[in-house]
A and B are shown apart, each in its own frame.
Chain A
Amino acid sequence: MSKALKKKIKKKVVKKVVKRSNKTASKSKKVTKKLVKKVEKKANSKVISKSKVNDFVIRFANVNGTGSASANFLFTKAIFRMGVPITPKNIFPSNIQGLPTWYEVRVSEKGYLGRREGIDLMVAVNPQSMLNDVAAVRKGGYFLFDSSKPLHSQYHRADINYIGIPLMHMCNEAYTDARQRQLFKNIVYVGALIALLDIEFKEVEGLLADQFKGKEKLIPSNIKALQLGIDYVKANFKYPLDIRVERRDLVKDWIMMEGNAACGLGAVYAGATFAAWYPITPSTSVVEGFSEFAEEFRTDKVTGKKNVAIVQAEDELAAIGMVIGANWNGARSFTATSGPGLSLMNEFLGLAYFAEIPTVLVDVQRTGPSTGMPTRTQQSDILEGAYASHGDTKHVLLFPSTPKECFDLTADSFDLAEGLQTPVIIMTDLDLGMNDHMTPPLVWDDKREYKRGKVLDAAALEKIEKFGRYLDVDKDGITYRTIPGTHASKGSFFTRGTSRDEYAVYTEDSGSYQRNMDRLIRKWDTAKKMVPAPQVYHKKNVSENGILFFGTSQYAAEEAMDILKEQGKPVDAIRLKAFPFNKTVEDFINSHKRIFVIEQNRDAQMKSLLMIELQVNPAKLISVLNYNGLPITADNILMQIEKSLSSSKKLKKA
């Protein structure tokens, strides 16, 4: 390390690690170990830790379509079952077979579940990406490679450690089938990692037993492959490495789940009976998840008849149209899509807003614009979602940040959509949707009833002299609706996207039109009270600076908040869960001098939305942005905050 670089090392931070409370990962405050934080110049800032027990990042460089995913997950799950917090991320191509794909795992005793730069151990089994993979390893880190052929000199670095294991040779010797030879290469390196990182073998065994339940004869060949890796390491290397795993009890009763599956399950619990969708990465597994759970829970075991209907539509326009039709007709229904699909759904979302039809849409955001990077993450549909469609429209947005919240907020979204008779868009993203996340166990209150909103049944209609679909009886902007087929002679009305009067009769009268638009704003104000409140981290302000974030930025933002506190520069924090913003958000901003708005897009879309919708001074909103397609890191947040604070200091001095 050069002297210049050494100067850049900011300071030593002493921190203790953690019996993590089982509520949120970041609440871990007890300190037991030392951590030295260094910042290197190269490309991205890197965190190097001297004490590496349960604190490292390992990246697997694979070729997609080679069966690496299940081997890598086996590795992750084994550490999870050792009670150690872990967060895996898939970094994969928009391709089925043959291109580079990475699986990055962060092990964090402190329970930090955000991504971190600085690879401590690279498992490099893809020659295509090897040059970059070698370069990505931190100084002093490890590079595990297939040594069946000698490593070309271009991959040599003096400052990292090489662990060569002849994976191909070993598998060619041990297995005859070509597919097996390829598949078990992955299991052999998992075996090697068991020895190198001191992972408990019995956890891996247990996982295999779970995985191959009913197909037990497949277990021995997997054990054999694991053993090959273990034996090779034991015979050839000093083990375990200085980075390693030690059993803890930090995971408690948490589960590991993908956000998309949690959304699908939430829709099952909420009583959705219809889903229409068009396949698009990264949202596809939402409806697939719904479909799998519905197959299990909604199918009559005797007749095979289903209490659910799922239609794969011809495009996103049809998908949202079907969902609107089903909701209009009284069935809870939803669709899931990503950015390009959301663009296509605009016209229909405007109809649902104006004709006041409940609609639930899960938008799993990916990197835009246009086709963008379809397999990378971003939070860049905020404005698109908030104001989808022409004319004056606004839509309710929800921002889950964990799989548990994906489940909870999806279930809530149906109550909200029906309560408000309007579209509700659940704004998740690829990181949350398609990666496994540690999350608290899912909970359902059996006493909970579905809140179907203001729907008149036959008995209620009987008591009404004249039904007015758009009459604001309760003065909250929300009017009463009827479902087709309810009453023989009362309650029918004509639903339309054209202007109408209080009795749903077509009109071009200016007064009627404007009354209706004003009532929709009254409804919007009611929505502010109905949507989930933001999470405010401190009861009383501790700083003139605050950070504001939402969705998957939570992980890195909380980590950054901890580090700032340790550096003696605490900040207040608020996590948005919904749009429209309620008063708490406005008060939080107004009670601070500076608000760092952390978001994962280029154009500071959330900052724009705050500026448009709230009475706040825009000058105090400072953007912290990440838009490279990878999940935001705490380092990145800290760097941007520090840069901003130091430049404002300089300004003061000048």
Chain B
Amino acid sequence: MSYVRPTFRHPELPKNKLGYTIDYYEGSLSTLCAGCGHDSISAAIIQGCYEMNIEPHRLAKLSGIGCSSKTPAYFLSNSHGFNSVHGRMPSVATGANMANRDLIYFGVSGDGDTASIGMGQFVHVIRRNLNMVYVVMNNGCYGLTKGQDSATADEGSKNKTGHVNLFESIDLASLAIELGATFVAQSFSGDKAQLVPLVKAAMKHPGFAFINVISPCVTFNNNVGSTKSYDYVREHIEATATMDFVPQMQEISVDYGKGSHKHVKMHDGSIIELHKLSEDWDPLDRQSAMNAVLNAKAKNEILTGLLYVDPDSHDLHHLLQTNDKPLNSLGKADLCPGSEALKEINAGLR
């Protein structure tokens, strides 16, 4: 790992529509191990936000506890961040989102933070279809406490000390699909080409957007026999389709050529383009998506890409019928019933 970030930048770095170069989206220097998959995911988030012309202050980063949950410090230093308590990021994100519906909420969690201590909150934030991006940086082990198995470690997977995991793993992507998540994707930290459009589409999804990213732990879980090592994942990865994300403001001018492809029009007019779709899989059909994930699992494959999306999803604000104006922008005049109303209440209690 480096201790000093080079301050030199190419003088002609391209600017996005807001006039920002990509370094404006960076964070502080990562303190994770050199080669950590998580840093690649941070880079994809930076790239995605830059390309989407996100105003950093209109995005809030939230996380729990663990290696993965440190990463919000390493991207978007011009955004507010909240590193909360272990496994409880979804609740903090829920409250934050209820307070101001106009920001993008970007949650980062790990496999311990989500699949063990935070399973309850993960399940319920899906049920509520909170409008947020939820990225799990999934390495199958507890890094900060030095390599214990997590609940997403596959049965029979061997860690660095030679210990073999005895228990069935929790598959977060299929769980999310089953629970009714409205955007479920899976990816690999080493596949930036796939990860960036997924991050971009997730930010545009009007509801809960889940991305499970297999992100090898180079220090504790990158050995032979581990099913979360770089080598193993590369050998077993199977993409559902290649994917592009076309934001609303961009004109569609892509030549699809031959082969199956699908357009998913999102709520705001953006388009997700999927090419070379695998057979028997329709990303708009929950059951089909579920089958595709289970079939891949039976073949020891890790299915990646956008697995399922419901572009007409209604988020929690819609369900609760909250005001279009952010609740945190309302003042006394909007909120306080005043003394006359209180007199009536008093009269009713006599």
Q: Which A residues lie at the B interface, using CB under 8 A?
A: 80-81, 253-257, 265, 268-269, 271, 273-274, 276, 293, 297-298, 300, 304-311, 313-315, 317-331, 333, 347-348, 351, 441-446, 449-450, 482-489, 492-498, 505-506
Contact = CB atoms under 8 A, between A and B. Distances in A.
Contacts of A443: 339, 342
Interface stretch (B4-12, B35-43, B73-81, B300-308): B73-81
A304 B321 contact: yes
Contact of B100 (A254, A482, A484): A484
Q: Which 4 A-B pairs have the closest CB atoms?
A: A325-B95, A321-B91, A331-B99, A326-B95
A273 B330 contact: yes
Given A271-B332, A311-B128, A495-B81, A329 B346 contact: no
A581 B124 CA distance: 40
Contact of A444 (B94, B338, B350): B338
A323 B84 CA distance: 13
B241 interface: no
B98 A322 contact: yes
Contacts of B321: 304-306
B296 interface: no
Given A318-B88, A495-B82, 20 more contacts: A274-B99, A307-B327, A307-B335, A313-B91, A321-B88, A321-B90, A321-B95, A322-B91, A326-B95, A329-B96, A329-B328, A442-B346, A450-B331, A485-B80, A485-B103, A489-B78, A492-B79, A494-B73, A494-B83, A495-B83
A318 B120 contact: yes
5 contacts: A269-B337, A273-B330, A309-B320, A444-B342, A488-B78
Interface of B: 28, 55-58, 60, 62, 72-73, 77-85, 88, 90-100, 102-103, 120-121, 123-124, 128, 316-317, 320-324, 327-328, 330-332, 334-339, 341-342, 345-346, 349-350
Contact of B99 (A293, A326, A442): A326
A271 B336 contact: yes
Contacts of A444: 336, 338-339, 342
Contact of B92 (A268, A293, A305, A322): A322
Contacts of A80: 350
Contacts of B84: 321, 324-325, 351, 497
Contact of B96 (A308, A318, A328, A498): A328
A223 B88 CA distance: 56
Contacts of B78: 488-489, 492
A69 B82 CA distance: 47
A308 to B, nearest CB: 7
A136 B91 CA distance: 49
A328 B82 CA distance: 9
Given A311-B98, A442-B346, A487 B124 contact: no
B119 to A, nearest CB: 11
B337 to A, nearest CB: 4
A287 to B, nearest CB: 14
B346 A333 contact: no
Contacts of B121: 314, 317-318, 321
Given A329-B96, A444-B339, A305 B323 contact: yes
A605 B60 CA distance: 41
Given A297-B337, A309-B98, A484-B60, A274 B91 contact: no
A617 to B, nearest CB: 40
A331 B83 contact: no
Contacts of A495: 80-83
Contacts of B102: 485
Interface centre among A304, A318, A320, A498 (most CB of B within 10 A): A318
A268 B332 CA distance: 10
Given A255-B349, A308-B322, A492 B56 contact: yes
A57 to B, nearest CB: 23
B145 to A, nearest CB: 16
A322 B80 contact: no
Given A348-B85, A442-B342, A488-B55, A311 B94 contact: yes
A444 B341 CA distance: 10
Contact of B120 (A315, A324, A327, A482): A315
A492 B55 CA distance: 12
Contacts of B85: 321, 347-348, 351, 497
A489 B57 contact: yes
Contacts of B317: 309
Given A309-B320, A314-B120, A483-B328, A445 B339 contact: yes
A257 B96 CA distance: 33
Contacts of A331: 95, 98-100, 327-328
B94 A322 contact: yes
A484 B57 contact: yes
B95 A324 contact: yes
A329 B349 contact: no
Contacts of A297: 337, 341
A357 B222 CA distance: 39
B195 to A, nearest CB: 24
A610 B321 CA distance: 47
Nearest to A257: B349
Contacts of A313: 91, 124
Contacts of B124: 313-314, 318
A197 B120 CA distance: 56
A323 B95 contact: yes
A497 B327 contact: no
Given A297-B337, A317-B88, A494 B120 contact: no
A313 B350 CA distance: 35
A81 B347 CA distance: 12
Nearest to B340: A446
B320 A329 contact: no
Contacts of B128: 311
A445 to B, nearest CB: 7
A645 B34 CA distance: 73
Contacts of B80: 482, 484-485, 492-495
Given A318-B88, A318-B91, A442 B100 contact: no
A445 B338 CA distance: 8
A351 B92 CA distance: 11
Given A304-B321, A322-B95, A331-B99, A446 B338 contact: yes
Contact of B103 (A276, A310, A484, A489): A484
A488 B19 CA distance: 13
B98 A317 contact: no
A333 B349 contact: no
Contacts of A325: 62, 82, 84, 91-99
Contacts of B82: 325, 328, 494-496
A326 B98 contact: yes
Given A305-B321, A442-B342, A497-B85, A274 B327 contact: yes
